[in-house]
Structure 1
């Protein structure tokens, strides 16, 4: 009787060693801790206002050791700056809209400009944090806030230059008109939500009041573009 050859089991074959995975646990944990510390800035801002923003109150709200501020962010001002940029309209949604407009080869139209201003009004009106940031910016000379304002101005300038370039020199100071509109939007949002009263008989904290302002804004932009023709 012939002796059969013994089959080689796959288990007996030498398989290449798998590359050892890098333990990403500490990296993920660091990221979660940093996110928690950034969020704590907002918690303190809502509860104590901007005068309460200091390393002790922020780390207490985050439930972390205060040494992590310098380890992860360098200093408390950098931590606050990250929170401010994360919650600023012109650094987020507004910046995305502006980028999309600038990528278009054609003229920035009436609808795009209207959408940008209406988006700003809606966002500020519905965000207590943004209202506090604007109030803080108006009431205190602060390096971090100034840098945020400069960054916001730089983003806005790009689209304003593009829009203005397509307007004829017909006596319309486009940037001045838009400055009045944007400043008015800020003030109406702060007035309604902080003071709690009407302005010119309009309560912009109510849906019908917001709708009136939004439609008026659309009409003003339409007038500008009609004048352009």
Structure 2
């Protein structure tokens, strides 16, 4: 009796798109954007070349559409953390969430690497969109620290930039003998983020307290010279 061959599963259009995207994510995490070839993607997704080229003219067009899924990744991270902008813990949570998102090999991390390595329409757009979507948050904190002498935008930029670099650099060498590929290294960075956040807020509170004390002493008739010498 002739053995019946199992029916071959035919992937739908949705299935094919999902397989292409999933394969791209896997390849990007492994090789990065710059090193991925269209032949790699076709092989990984188990499709014939016409299937790919019926959808996209070339790999650049595919990548431009692909990264649009990640144009809002910074905004999504921040929105998902549900932090209060008037609280030190909320401020700290922003940096912790970014560090967490980049701590493992991810498309977001490789997107940052690609932005630094290549200047093209896609990388410029993703970088500018990230700036655009985080600017309202920056303005919120600038208003909160207005008149304090604390440039919160510059300080926050240094922290974010440090998080970016530590994660982009981690496969090359340790940094100050910290290995953020290990749990112990991750913990040190998270603790440092928390300490920095509290230091910034405590410094601001200290300045406010000094101003209050100085104003009260002035009302009591103490000269400004003595107040400046003793308090500031």
Q: Do both proteins adopt the same fold according to a TM-score greater than 0.5, normalized to the shorter chain?
A: yes
Cα distance change on mapping 1:120 and 1:88 into 2, 3 Å: farther
| Contact 1:34–1:72 under 8 Å retained in 2 | no
| Contact 2:74–2:98 under 8 Å retained in 1 | no
Whether 1:215 and 2:198 are equivalent positions in the alignment is no
* Correspondence 1:3-42 to 2 at 5 A: 29-42=12-25
TM-score norm. by structure 2 comes to 0.72
* Correspondence 1:106-121 to 2 at 5 A: 107-121=85-99
Q: Structure 1: give runs of 5+ residues left out of the alignment.
A: 1-25
Aligned Cα root-mean-square deviation (Å): 2.8
Q: 1:111-157 deviations in whole A, cap 9, x for unaligned?
A: 11211110111221122443332222111112111111111111211
Q: Which has the larger radius of gyration?
A: 1
Paired with 2:53 and 2:79, the residues of 1 have a C-alpha distance of 31
Cα distance change on mapping 1:209 and 1:73 into 2, 3 Å: same
* Correspondence 1:118-137 to 2 at 5 A: 118-137=96-115
> For structure 1, which segment, 180-189 or 127-136, has the greater mean C-alpha deviation from structure 2 after superposition?
127-136
* Alignment coverage as a number of residue pairs: 196
TM-score norm. by structure 1 comes to 0.73
SS in 2 for 1:52: coil
Match of 1:228 among 181, 204, 207: 204
> For structure 1, which segment, 84-93 or 136-145, has the greater mean C-alpha deviation from structure 2 after superposition?
84-93
The CA deviation at 1:184 is 0.5
Paired with 1:74 and 1:163, the residues of 2 have a C-alpha distance of 44
Q: Structure 2: give runs of 5+ residues left out of the alignment.
A: 1-9, 206-232
Match of 2:146 among 136, 151, 168: 168
Whether 1:50 and 2:33 are equivalent positions in the alignment is yes
Match of 2:168 among 167, 178, 190: 190
